[in-house]
Amino acid sequence: MTQTNLARSAPQDETTWWRHAVIYQVYPRSFADNDGDGIGDLPGIASRLPYLAKLGVDAIWLSPFYRSPQHDAGYDVSDYRDVDPLFGTLADFDHMLAEAHRLGLRIIVDLVPNHTSTEHAWFREAVATLPGSAARQRYIFRDGKGKDGELPPNNWQSIFGGNAWSRAPGDSQWYLHLFDRSQPDLNWDHPEVRSDFEDVLRFWLDRGVDGFRVDVAHGLIKAEGLPDWAGQTSMVEGEEGAHSNNGPMWDQEGVHDVYRRWRQVLDEYDNDRMMVAEAWVHPPQRLARYVRADEMQQAFNFDYLLTHWDAQAFRDVVTRSLAVSAEVGAPTTWVMSNHDTVRHTSRYGLSVPGARPKGIDAAGEQPNEALGLRRARAAALLTLALPGSAYIYQGEELGLPEHTTLEAEHRQDPAFFRTSGEEIGRDGCRVPLPWQSAAPAFGFGPGTATWLPQPVSFARYAVDRQEGDAGSTLELYRAALRLRRQRHLGNGELVWRDAEPGVVAFANGGVHVVVNTNDHPVALPGGEVLVSSVPLDTGHMLPANSAVWLG
């Protein structure tokens, strides 16, 4: 039998936790509500920490909870050193952090350095002063083109649709916003911007956080002169290649100077603090630059997230990812879903399984829910058996699907409104979690309503419906995470095994992993069944769209 050994995710004597950690993303407004207003909060998160400890994850990544007018669900920050009253107080944060640490859970907070809110004190000062003022230098203000400056400074488009330039009322200059007009881009060539964010890092590190997820990590530095660009601005390459993330606003060499300095700040602290990059960068060799020894520790592997339900595609992306990461001595960071993408349970149920639509609504193709869940369970066993780190998006462990019939009047994603509904947006993956199948709001909180309405179908995915059910997705995740820890799979070595077409097969840490992406059963090698995504009652056969770990 042919064997192909790939590099370990870390040297055998490596003990740094982030190399092999499983990290759970909490989207605060949709995780758990304590005060009954229908919006999740920090006390709600604190109350559910025992659930996450029992799940078996190592750390929690919290999406933004800072002061914000909430035009983009908190990614428009008005004060980086305070908690928005929607979510609680700094005291609530400190309590939640202490409780997490008591339970052995680390906390990573989201940092949004590319842009602020228009309500940030800096921007308010900028628009209150004249063109050329020192306050305006912290942002990217430019005179317009045309006879009277009535045209934008260049042709860049916003990620959320429309022009990437706006003018404040009565202002003669334009300011750049790669996202919503309420999110002006900072000028990262300005020393005060760099200095202030180093202070922000220290503010949260001094409180005891264990790391940072860096939003739009590839976007801080823009090409000199802000040249026109004919491409369609996007965070990620489009499914058909229509969009590109290779424009002059992305992945400029200067971003690495920022992260080298940030790494120095983190290294001033004990307990192995870390950073993870959200950088939609291609090819993988460019992504690897963000995790060199003197920069960040992790970068999300979005190539893996974008992989369709295809055995050869999975094998190719895993092989490539491990090889490229090994070249810079970094772990690979596997991810299947997050708050910006259609949930993979639903993507795997589409006619092109795994395709990444920009949201799904009632008028679009409806996923095959049962097939998507079956494939998602198998994908979980594939992902959690790989060397490196892995991220779980809240609800993934429940098999939660996308809300694909959310009415337009309930939508809140600015991308939906800036594109006049052409882009469905991200609301469908952000719906509040179901905790109790028969309770109002499915036990999300003491109230009867949630900030985004939950579909009736969420009842069958509720935590209390799955708890203790050996065949449930929740118990599958618990079992896989327990075995992953016991067998040290995160620090393991992947060895490919020969397999028939449509099958992914490899060994890691004494575990033989077989994933069948075919629509028909395949023969299994011998071995003790450690965990399987479906009941194995077919002798030595692995059913279609399923996976197993053998000992």
pLDDT bracket for residue 246 (50, 70, 90): confident
Query: Contact 275/266 with Cβ under 8 angstroms?
Result: yes
Per-residue confidence at 414, pLDDT binned at 50, 70, 90?
confident
Residue 251 reports pLDDT greater than 50: yes
Task: Look at residue 14 in the predicted model and tell me its pLDDT.
Answer: 39
Q: What is the mean pLDDT of residues 57-80?
A: 98
Average pLDDT, the chain: 94
Contact 462, 434 (CB under 8 A): yes
Residue 544 pLDDT > 50, yes or no?
A: yes
Catalytic residue among 268, 316, 327, 500: 268
Q: Residue written as tokens 């952090």?
A: 97
The pLDDT value recorded for residue 244 is 60
Which pLDDT band, with edges at 50, 70 and 90, does 89 fall under? Answer: very high
Binned at pLDDT 50, 70 and 90, residue 13 comes out as very low
Q: Which residues neighbour 119 within 8 Å (Cβ) at sequence distance 6 or greater?
A: 69, 76, 78, 182
Structural tokens at position 388: 């490196």
How would DSSP label each residue in 371-420? HHHHHHHHHHHHHHTSSSEEEEETTGGGTPPP-----GGG---HHHHHTT
Average the pLDDT over 446-460 and give the result. Answer: 97
538 pLDDT exceeds 90? no
Least confident interval from 150-154, 185-189, 403-407? 403-407
* pLDDT interval class at 462 (50, 70, 90): very high
Domains with residue ranges and CATH for the chain: 3-114+188-473 (3.20.20.80), 121-176 (3.90.400.10)
Residue 236 is predicted with a pLDDT of 57
Is 257 an annotated catalytic residue?
no
Tell which wins on pLDDT, 192 or 246.
Answer: 192
pLDDT at 67 over 90: yes
Digit-coded pLDDT (tens) for 321-367: 999 999 999 999 999 999 999 999 999 999 998 877 789 999 999 99
Q: Is the pLDDT of residue 303 over 60?
A: yes
**pLDDT of 242 over the 50 cut:** no
CA distance 500 to 433: 39
| Interatomic CA distance for residues 515 and 127, integer angstroms | 56
365 catalytically annotated: no
Instruction: Convert the pLDDT of each residue in 172-216 to its tens digit.
Output: 999 999 999 999 999 999 999 999 999 999 999 999 999 999 999
Spatial contact of 521 and 543, defined as CB atoms under 8 Å apart: yes
Annotated active-site residue in 72, 180, 215, 278:
215
* 322-333 exposure pattern, b = at least 16 Cβ within 10 A, e = fewer: bebbbeeebbbb
113 or 237, higher pLDDT: 113
Closest to 118 in 3D by CA, of 156, 69, 188, 63: 69
**CA–CA dist 403, 411 (Å, integer):** 11
Give the integer Cα–Cα distance in Å for 37 and 45: 15
Which tokens is 91 given? 């005291």
Q: Percent of the chain, pLDDT > 70?
A: 95
Of 344, 381, 311, the closest CA to residue 532 belongs to 381
